[in-house]
Structure 1
Amino acid sequence: MEKKLKIYIRLQEIINDRQIDGRPMTQKDVAELSKLRRATISEICTNTRTTINREHLEAIAQALGIKDVSELIEFRYE
């Protein structure tokens, strides 16, 4: 059986590895920094969102200082 290519957004992993003001970063922090809705960030973190606006990815990358798209997005074969 051929495996299907899936685009995986690593946002939750990035959040888990970061701190803000000496405490663990949260989805709420990312929402505030990126000026995106908390629900949007949650859906991206859980990879349940089926379409992602390019401006959303740009806002997240800008807010988190991500310079390389491969830090945020990866291809997985499932």
Structure 2
Amino acid sequence: MSGTNRKLIITLDKVLANRNNMTQKQLAEMTGIRTAAISELYNNQRNSINRDHLMKIADALEIDDIRELLHIEKLDA
């Protein structure tokens, strides 16, 4: 079997909306992560995810459950 039928979705858009509409720029300033990297995560444009970035985002937003930030979506076959 080649490929995958699942996709990792980053829900940063929903998380920021639930944080009084925090901006990507504000999150970048809080975490020290480049604004461009935050934008790529926000728009699900990354092929790989930096674990350190996830931890910085979780710390900044006081996220204790990674499921608040990520979920796996099954793709249509």
When the two structures are superposed, what TM-score results if normalisation uses the length of structure 2? 0.88
Shift of 1:43: 0.1
> For 2:47 and 2:27, how far apart are their aligned partners in 1?
20
**Segments of 4+ in structure 1 off by > 6 A?**
none
Given the alignment, which residue of 64, 70, 75 partners 1:73?
A: 70
| Superposed CA RMSD | 1.2
Structure 2 unpaired stretches of 5+: none
Q: Percent identity?
A: 42
Task: Name the structure with the higher strand share.
Answer: 1
Q: CA deviation at 1:18?
A: 1.2
Name the counterpart of 1:52: 49
1:16, CA displacement in angstroms?
A: 1.3
Query: Using the alignment, how far apart are the partners of 1:50 and 1:16 within structure 2?
Result: 23
The one-letter code sitting in structure 1 at the alignment partner of 2:14 is: E
Aligned residue runs from structure 1 range 1-78, under 5 A: 4-19=5-20, 24-78=21-75
Equivalent pairs, count: 72
Structure 1: gaps of 5 or more residues: none
What is the deviation of 1:17? Answer: 1.5
Q: Deviations over 1:9-52 (max 9, x none)?
A: 11111111212xxxx31000110111100000000000001111
TM-score by length of 1: 0.87
Cα distance in structure 1, aligned partners of 2:67 and 2:18: 16
